[in-house]
Amino acid sequence: MKSILRRSALLSICTTICAAPLFAQSSENTSEAALPRAEDVVAHINSRDEGEAVSRKLSIEMRDKRGKTRHRETRSYRKYYAGEKRTVIFYLSPKNIKDTAFLTYDYNDPEQEDSQWLYLPALRKVRRISASDRGDYFLGTDMTYEDIKLETRVSSADFNFQTIGTCDADDKPGLQIQGTPKSQEIARELGYSKTLSCVDNEIWMVRHSQFWDIKGNLLKTVTISNIEQIQGIWSQQNIDVENHKTGHSTRLIFSEIDYQSPVPEDIFTTNAIKRGL
């Protein structure tokens, strides 16, 4: 009888350890049938109120595996139109990267390819970012051009999502969704074979994400924190990215967030990114 009990206890411990998820699960045993559909979770994330327009200061800190840190100061603007979202980032310092600018048009129509441009002052040239380049890393950071465009949203055009359980990130309970690219071509373009995200389903923001490379190795972890309501809109103020392959990390710090001041439309043009602020 004691032997049976010991075997049962060991089996229970093994089951608990082997079933442990990547994010801490809530104590409740939520059946798969009781979980909301991933399509609904994604729709909530992508329809979350972000204001019609916003201007922000964006500080970027990049740290290599030896601890050497580089700093970038930028000013960013975003504005929604009927059929698209436009975002522009102007680099203000340091001197060797000043006046670099990035512009993106994110279209609602999934059949229409988004447009992205990068202005490099050293070349005095605006470069169009093609779909095949969107998985490239953005100006020395650990975020890709696609990551910068999406910010805290998720791409239903590129990924199939599944709600796989509950989770806990930053002491906030939420829903765990898994994303897999819709094709091998998309996986190669983005550089990801799988994503796993913990979604705060009270405010519908992703608080924690993990990304695997196309070989199935854990590539990076993204943590979104310091989330507060600013002028009535839930806003992230820190995004931390840890690259597990290179030991490099990036922190994005948002400040001077303003949803109320008007943002001029002519700032979202290729001529504007050449002119600078």
Question: What is the residue-wise DSSP string for 4-61?
Answer: HHHHHHHHHHHHHHHT--SSBPPSS---GGGSPPHHHHHHHHHTS---SEEEEEEEEE
Q: How much is the average pLDDT of 86-103?
A: 97
The distance from CA 234 to its chain's CA centroid, rounded to whole angstroms, is 16
* Secondary structure of residue 244 in the 3-state scheme: coil
Contact 245, 213 (CB under 8 A): yes
Please tell me the distance from the alpha carbon of residue 163 to that of residue 169, in angstroms, as a whole number: 16
pLDDT per position as a tens digit, 159-172:
999 999 999 988 88
Please tell me the distance from the alpha carbon of residue 78 to that of residue 86, in angstroms, as a whole number: 6
The residue ranking higher by pLDDT, 18 or 182, is: 182
| pLDDT tier for residue 277 given thresholds of 50, 70 and 90 | confident
Please tell me the distance from the alpha carbon of residue 57 to that of residue 180, in angstroms, as a whole number: 33
Which long-range contacts does 133-136 make (Cβ < 8 Å, 24+ apart)?
Answer: 134/189, 134/190, 135/188, 135/189, 135/190, 135/191, 135/192
Q: Give CATH superfamily name and number for 30-275.
A: Lipoprotein localisation LolA/LolB/LppX (2.50.20.10)
The per-residue pLDDT for 172 is 85
Please tell me the distance from the alpha carbon of residue 77 to that of residue 118, in angstroms, as a whole number: 15
Lowest mean pLDDT among 3-17, 106-120, 133-147, 201-215: 3-17
The per-residue pLDDT for 210 is 98
pLDDT over 50 at 14, yes or no = no
| Domain boundaries of the chain, sorted by first residue | 30-275
Q: Can you name the residues that pair with 239 across neighbouring β-strands?
A: 224, 252
| pLDDT tier for residue 22 given thresholds of 50, 70 and 90 | very low
pLDDT over 60 at 144, yes or no = yes
The per-residue pLDDT for 10 is 39
Contact 204, 62 (CB under 8 A): no
| Percent of all residues in the chain with a pLDDT value above 90, rounded to a whole number | 80
pLDDT over 80 at 64, yes or no = yes
The per-residue pLDDT for 33 is 54
The per-residue pLDDT for 112 is 86
